[in-house]
Structure 1
Amino acid sequence: MRKPASGRFAHFVETYGGLYLLDVMAWAIGIIIALVLRFDFAFTRIHWGWTLAVIGVAAALQLLFGWVFWVYRSRYQIGSFDEVRAVVFNVTAVTAVTWVFAFLVGYGNGIPRSTLVIAAPITFSVMGVARYMIRILTERSLKPAKAERVLLYGAGYLGIQTAKRLLTDAKSEYLPVGFLDDDPAKSNQEVRGVKVLGGIQDLGRLVRSTGATSLLVCIGDADAGMLRRLDTEADKLGVNVMVLPPLNQILDNSASISSVRELSIEDIIGRHPVRLSTESIAEYLQGKRVLVTGAGGSIGSELCRQLVNFAPKELIMLDRDETALQEVQISIAGHGLLDTNDVVLADIRDSDSLREIFVERQPEVVFHAAALKHLPMLEQYPDEAWKTNVVGTLNVLNAARAVNVGTFVNISTDKAANPTSVLGHSKRVAEKLTGWMAEQTGNRYLSVRFGNVIGSRGSMLPTFRNLIEKGGPITVTHPEATRFFMTIPEASQLVIQAGGIGRPGEVLILDMGEPVRILDVAKRMIAQSGKDIEIVYTGLRHGEKLHEVLTGDGEGNERPFHPKISHAHIGVISPDILDHDGWVARLNLTDAAEGRVQ
């Protein structure tokens, strides 16, 4: 309920009465100093009666215009730039009207015409200093009294805002005591008394001199390589490394700057997400009917959650796992009733059913995420890879061609580059079939290839966590084995971006930075758990590579649209020459590493 006028005035007097009195004093000081300067310090020439009258008029007008310009009505933070602007308008208005009064009474009464002109900047300066002191005292009262001392890595915009936020939050658990920044241009920078003390090479010295026990990373674009370096250096000193929540969570108020968290294994081995070209994405998704196969999987479900942000006319989620469909429906629609037409239960191995669904729903954009992905399992059962990854993909392609789908994105894997496993061969054939369909239709049928996806079902990190919880041991195939890693949101962003910039028949590949040694990941996870876990080496499994590659021999590395996305060109294969018997023969367990599919 709105307060009555008397209540609002009482609140004004209680809250801003002191500030108003300071402003009146500022006018008194300004006017008196102006007269002293005007009369060359001849105090006897000052007419104190009329001087007090001018000060009284200025005081009354200060209250009036202070109310008009919201200086005393809680609109602005005291000492902020917004308040400074309001005070400028306030002082200008008071000066103009008071000058008229002084002009009328000044002649012969010891008030020169220039008095107010001289007084105005002096008064504004005194007001500014008073407000600055009030703000400093207020912020000091909000400074956390008992908090963990932290160093901030990164003195850019995010670091500055983080320092300000932590210094003005009495409930904060962290107190910044210094910045680290490797940019020499910031070596003399200081924010609220928090100085840039050095770079990461000075971490040991600064930890000892400041007593800091944690290092907070304040760089929005910090990639895994940088975080691994920081983590290694901090670990030697027994210092925790922490990171801020994602910037989008801070902006939509689902997280605050003070909601820091410890560095996770995902931060260390992941990558900074590719920045999406929203214009190209909106153009091909907005108002379109979009279908996702494998919508209940790790990639497919995240893909669906991101696609809804681009306002498709209809999102059709297809999977053979009804429970997985229910889970993704809950995450997007807020219910898991499974009685709406946004979820479709079907198997991509069933060509007739797929064709009926495509003809009925008429999708315009298709993301093909359905696949079998576990390398050792498919080494044992190569026929299953044939049925799902090869024939299933062909079924989806044929159904898409039947309804003239304009954009088709096939999700592939780095194992398709120079393949040595059943999984790699099956996905390689899927890429070539997609390229063949692009030739046949002239539409944008293309593939996207990336490395291991962190946190996907059955992937390395969940497996390691389960083994650690059970007390170990952790099994690692080879001490030198390396892999490329990316998070589920990163992979989904790449897939969506590909549909906007990919050309017919291409394979788009994300620059995933440096590969990560699996043994280092295992050791880091064991260290985080605080348990004594044994690591057992099992040897590379059949068809498994020691080091993966992202681009195969002769595929090229063109980057015409995005500096982090390569456009590779591979051969095509016609479904007419697909031979199941030849597939089984070439992927015989005795020579799988040497076999090649056309």
Structure 2
Amino acid sequence: MSYQKRLTLLILLDSIIVTCAIFAAVWIVYPNAEGTLDTKVLAISSLALLVFHHLFAFVYKLYNKVWAYASVGELLAIVKSVTFAILATGVVQYLVNGFSIYRRTLLVTWLLHIILIGGSRFVWRVFRDQYLVKDTNKKRTLIVGAGAAGSMIARQLHNGNNDSELKPIAFVDDDLAKHKMEIYGVPVIGRIKDIPDIVNNHNIEHVIIAIPSLKRSELKHIVDLCNETKAIVKMIPKIEDLMTGKVSVSNLKNVEVEDLLGRDPVVLDIHAIKEYVTDSTVMVTGAGGSIGSELCRQLMTFKPGRIILVGHGEYSIYNIDMELRRTYGQSETEIIPIIGDVQDRERMFQIVQAYEPAIIYHAAAHKHVPLMEYNPHEAVKNNVIGTKNVAEAADYYGVKRFVLVSTDKAVNPTNVMGATKRIAEMVIQDMATRSKTTFVAVRFGNVLGSRGSVIPLFKKQIADGGPVTVTHPDMTRYFMTIPEASRLVIQAGTLAKGGEIFVLDMGEPVKIVDLAKNLIRLSGYTEDEIPIEFSGIRPGEKMYEELLGEDEIHPGEVYEKIYVGRTKEVDADAIHRLIEGFERCEVGELKDELMRVVFMEKELVTAKGS
């Protein structure tokens, strides 16, 4: 029904109720009295009541309410508009009736208005739900959590929301006081641990997780229980959307692997970050990449004076530039997109000289392990020489702080990528010993959803109908979300004194095969429909990753989820010889030379400690 038709019908209905109510009240109060009340006064009172009712109805927006979802707020709006209309009518009656008021008549009229106006909405709602809205084809749904969020979901679903294909059948909640109770006609029939039995016994097709305060581990436990069934699992959106009243059935989202593997957020030291980022010029290399672009997003919230987006790929820099301008268009931060390759030493010096950044976040790198095994020369150029170029430009032009984004694969590396990233760390550790610039590296594991990572690959394989390929059933990896990694990189930058390798707490390592199984289930399939195949370990891959070597371990956190490794002396001459002669090496020779530089450094540390 159109808004105009709906408005006309409601005004007409209320007009009939208001016009008749005062005469009905007279009949109720004075059933046998004739001539006791002045008919002229009653007529004027009825007309005044009609005018005032519609006036206050528009003030309190009675005709704009969606009565299918009416609750206490809508009832209060009716009470307010009726009360003020009666009071205003009483004033009119007092003036036209010789300073007297038919108090009992007006009181009964007030009661009739609330009953009839409120009742008319309720009757329409019941009629609509019972006869107009058909739910025979709707999916039987179990709601996990009978709190405020679950109640909101149940109300929207149970009221026959035509946009939803879901029908609430029951709640589960660990609060025993709610058991055997009903919320909007939906019973609470068990605890969370009972989910598999309830799904099977009640033919549940969908499960909605409606507990916004869940910790990651608790959410994973619930999803694991749901995965024992064939039900499709969804969850409510973020808690801030609940608090602002944005939650609706259409906002329900699929449970993502990121929801299960990410950790509870760290409270950042906002003051410390603002102190060194706000109003400063910040430069991010690799700004178009997964980590670099998220670093830019996170940095923008701290309002730097300028942010320099440096990248080799024209399209990726264009994308992050447009996104930041679209999102932070009203910000005072000047956004400057720069096309430049970190391998081009002269270009890096030009950029740093021209824009005088106070902080450089160096995220540009080649990171794909198998690809770098076939292309070690490119890995050296980008990861080692590129880092050296930007670091030396930072030193030469007096940049205050330089933060290298590193990787857990730099620990006891078995592959070209890890070795070149470890040598990049050695470069900035060496620079830290002879520069006024504060150099620091931040090391972490795999980030969920980054380019070239396993999750986008698995999702594509599932979308293509499988199989999902896993290298080995026992292979494990650390995982972290991109926003979490970026925030901790920024936080680690505030802790730097020079030469440290900060290590982010990655939680517990995850089996890749378990990750694949979760993704298949969360995509609505079974392992029979999307099989898992083991392809064998690829060149340069480890079975498991480490975050610190034995000789680097430094006990205790320096900040929540941030550890610092011990500073080690670096053989700068070995790095110089590598850079001078790597182009003359064959692929196999260069791999050997990389490992020699990395593990020569280890022998050097051991020798000095003996």
TM over 0.5: same fold? yes
Whole-angstrom CA distance in 2 between matches of 1:210 and 1:52: 63
8 Å contact kept, 2:179–2:190? yes
Whole-angstrom CA distance in 2 between matches of 1:196 and 1:211: 16
Whole-angstrom CA distance in 1 between matches of 2:21 and 2:182: 30
Structure 1, unmatched stretches of 5+, are 1-6, 37-42, 335-339
The match for 2:233 is 241
1:364 CA displacement? 3.1
1:293 CA displacement? 0.7
1:246-268 Cα offsets, whole Å, 9 max, x none, are 56789999996415454445544
Q: Where do residues 218-233 of structure 1 align in structure 2 (5 Å cutoff)? A: 218-220=210-212, 225-233=217-225
Please give the secondary structure, in 1, of the residue aligned with 2:188: strand
Identity of aligned residues (%): 33
The match for 1:74 is 63
The match for 1:566 is 562
8 Å contact kept, 1:382–1:587? no
The match for 2:46 is 59
The match for 2:165 is 173
Work out which of the residue numbers 398, 409, 424 in structure 2 matches 1:415. 409
The match for 1:359 is 353
The match for 1:149 is 140
1:486-542 Cα offsets, whole Å, 9 max, x none, are 33344334444555x544446555444432111222344566486564623635865
Whole-angstrom CA distance in 2 between matches of 1:424 and 1:171: 51
Please give the secondary structure, in 2, of the residue aligned with 1:201: helix
Q: Does 1:303 align with 2:281?
A: no
1:261-292 Cα offsets, whole Å, 9 max, x none, are 54445544445665767776666555543321
1:77-112 Cα offsets, whole Å, 9 max, x none, are 454555545444434434434445666788999x77
8 Å contact kept, 2:281–2:358? yes
Whole-angstrom CA distance in 1 between matches of 2:549 and 2:237: 33
8 Å contact kept, 2:571–2:601? no
Instruction: Describe the shift of the 1:114–1:488 C-alpha distance in structure 2 as closer, same or farther (beyond 3 A).
Output: same
Instruction: Describe the shift of the 1:378–1:155 C-alpha distance in structure 2 as closer, same or farther (beyond 3 A).
Output: same
1:452 CA displacement? 0.9
Q: Does 1:216 align with 2:208?
A: yes
TM-score by length of 1: 0.76
Q: Does 1:348 align with 2:342?
A: yes
Please give the secondary structure, in 1, of the residue aligned with 2:151: helix
1:385-411 Cα offsets, whole Å, 9 max, x none, are 554434432332232244443454321
Q: Where do residues 430-469 of structure 1 align in structure 2 (5 Å cutoff)? A: 430-431=424-425, 434=428, 445-464=439-458
Instruction: Describe the shift of the 1:510–1:160 C-alpha distance in structure 2 as closer, same or farther (beyond 3 A).
Output: farther
Whole-angstrom CA distance in 1 between matches of 2:447 and 2:14: 58
Work out which of the residue numbers 293, 299, 316 in structure 1 matches 2:285. 293
Choose 113-122 or 371-380, whichever is displaced more. 113-122
Choose 179-188 or 59-68, whichever is displaced more. 179-188
The residue identity in structure 1 corresponding to 2:562 is S
Q: Does 1:514 align with 2:508?
A: yes
1:582 CA displacement? 8.3
The match for 1:535 is 533
The residue identity in structure 1 corresponding to 2:477 is R
Whole-angstrom CA distance in 1 between matches of 2:465 and 2:104: 85
Instruction: Describe the shift of the 1:234–1:213 C-alpha distance in structure 2 as closer, same or farther (beyond 3 A).
Output: same
Choose 128-137 or 345-354, whichever is displaced more. 128-137
Choose 116-125 or 151-160, whichever is displaced more. 116-125
Whole-angstrom CA distance in 2 between matches of 1:593 and 1:475: 36
TM-score by length of 2: 0.75
Instruction: Describe the shift of the 1:60–1:233 C-alpha distance in structure 2 as closer, same or farther (beyond 3 A).
Output: same
1:429-466 Cα offsets, whole Å, 9 max, x none, are 54565567667777765443332123323222344456
8 Å contact kept, 1:483–1:547? yes
The match for 1:337 is none
Work out which of the residue numbers 4, 10, 28 in structure 2 matches 1:15. 10
Instruction: Describe the shift of the 1:57–1:432 C-alpha distance in structure 2 as closer, same or farther (beyond 3 A).
Output: farther
The residue identity in structure 2 corresponding to 1:74 is Y
Work out which of the residue numbers 376, 383, 388 in structure 2 matches 1:394. 388
Whole-angstrom CA distance in 2 between matches of 1:582 and 1:590: 8
Q: Where do residues 103-182 of structure 1 align in structure 2 (5 Å cutoff)? A: 116=106, 120=110, 124=114, 127-135=117-125, 137=127, 141=132, 144=135, 146-168=137-159, 169-182=161-174
Please give the secondary structure, in 2, of the residue aligned with 1:179: strand
The residue identity in structure 2 corresponding to 1:359 is Q
8 Å contact kept, 1:425–1:596? no
The residue identity in structure 2 corresponding to 1:557 is G
8 Å contact kept, 2:420–2:594? no
Whole-angstrom CA distance in 2 between matches of 1:133 and 1:121: 17
Whole-angstrom CA distance in 1 between matches of 2:440 and 2:126: 59
Instruction: Describe the shift of the 1:51–1:548 C-alpha distance in structure 2 as closer, same or farther (beyond 3 A).
Output: farther
1:587 CA displacement? 5.0
Whole-angstrom CA distance in 2 between matches of 1:579 and 1:593: 11
Whole-angstrom CA distance in 2 between matches of 1:370 and 1:316: 13
Q: Does 1:315 align with 2:310?
A: no
| C-alpha RMSD over aligned residues | 4.8
1:28-87 Cα offsets, whole Å, 9 max, x none, are 666666x47xxxxxx65x566518666545533332222332157734445455554544
8 Å contact kept, 2:557–2:563? yes
